[in-house]
Structure 1
Amino acid sequence: MRGTRWLSADEQRIWRTYLQANQLLRDALDRQLQRDAGMPHGYYIILAMLSEAPGRSMTMSQLARTVSSSPSRLSHAVAKLERAGWVRRRRHETDGRATIATLTDDGFDVLAEAAPGHVEEVRSVLFDPLTPEQVRQLGEIFTAVLAPHDDRPGPPS
């Protein structure tokens, strides 16, 4: 067994900077979506991923993988979205064990109304401070970080 590979001073500084930037972005997106759409960022991601799926539908297990959520956490969130009338759940026609989540027309309308403000916040907090070259590098960096886990679906917006 080998010893712990401690972070160098530069790696520790970069790690902490990443944590601060990640929290800044998460907080900004949550504030913006709560203010403008009355929902947390996690709910927005669920609606967005359903909007991009064929028929605006996915099995709950597919949706959990896509949004990187545990099945129980996703079920709780979808129940709230269902009560709001934004998502509908039903049993899979051929696999009684599976449940299908579908984005409703009302849910799509809420998403469409929230999207411009969300995109502007992402742009303002993440992309505007960067040069085009830094944006390209950031994409390469995140792609490299995710590559060992490439069996996961693409990242949500």
Structure 2
Amino acid sequence: MTESLDSTRAAAWRAYIEASQRLFTQLEDDLRTDSDLTFADYHVLVLLSEAPGQRLRMGELASRLVFSPSRLTYQISSMQRRGLVSKEPCPDDRRGSEAVLTAAGLLTLSEAAPHHLASVRAHLMDDLDDAEVACLTRVFDRLGHRLRAARTTSSTQPHVKEPSDARDHR
């Protein structure tokens, strides 16, 4: 059986979960109010705006968003209907597809960005000093690298089924 967290780590975990959920909800509410975008919409628009030619292969976009292929297909379809992105065959590989930022998508992003950044500042960044920002950056960069590496490793190794008695003792 896995050892439980000590009280300090349990308190840190609970504070992280509750505050991060409240922060995400607040940022999403603000985005919807100010621009009628979801957080996922905004993230797609940012990633495409930063990509060469404002286009990304669907697989790379799914990976960067941490979306399953089916979730990305749904997301891009929704954004296509609103004219924010288009889906085009890859010029180098006709079997693949790319999500492409449209002029309307870029305009929507440029109108939403100042409001979203004000929300990020008001609900998170303006309350942190430089040392806290540096600490958060170190922690989440390290965590992100470790989780990406673990995901890559687990996706390249065959899945081994645990014996049923091992699952019963979690």
TM over 0.5: yes
Q: CA deviation at 1:20?
A: 1.1
Distance in structure 2 (CA, Å) of the matches to 1:150 and 1:99: 23
Distance in structure 2 (CA, Å) of the matches to 1:144 and 1:88: 34
Distance in structure 1 (CA, Å) of the matches to 2:143 and 2:92: 38
1:19 maps to: 17
**Aligned-partner residue type, residue 25 of structure 2:** D
**Partner of residue 42 from structure 1, selected from 25, 40, 43:** 40
Ranges of 4+ aligned residues in structure 1 off by more than 4 Å: none
**Aligned-partner residue type, residue 20 of structure 1:** E
Distance in structure 2 (CA, Å) of the matches to 1:67 and 1:10: 31
**Matched position secondary structure for 1:31:** helix
1:6-155 mapped onto 2 (5 Å cutoff): 6-151=4-149
Distance in structure 2 (CA, Å) of the matches to 1:150 and 1:79: 26
Q: Which has the higher contact order (CA 8 A, sep 6+)?
A: 1
Distance in structure 2 (CA, Å) of the matches to 1:15 and 1:147: 19
- Residue by residue over 1:25-54, the C-alpha shift from the partner in whole angstroms, topping out at 9 and shown as x without a partner, is 111111111001111111100111000000
The normalised TM-score by structure 2 is 0.84
Query: When the two structures are aligned, how many residues end up with a matched partner?
Result: 150
Distance in structure 2 (CA, Å) of the matches to 1:29 and 1:91: 33
Distance in structure 2 (CA, Å) of the matches to 1:104 and 1:38: 17
**Matched position secondary structure for 1:73:** helix
**Matched position secondary structure for 1:88:** strand
Question: Once superposed, what is the RMSD of the aligned Cα atoms?
Answer: 1.4
Distance in structure 1 (CA, Å) of the matches to 2:25 and 2:127: 17
Could you say which structure has the larger radius of gyration?
2
For structure 1, list consecutive stretches of 5 or more residues without a partner in the other structure.
153-157
Percent sequence identity over aligned pairs: 34
For structure 2, list consecutive stretches of 5 or more residues without a partner in the other structure.
152-170
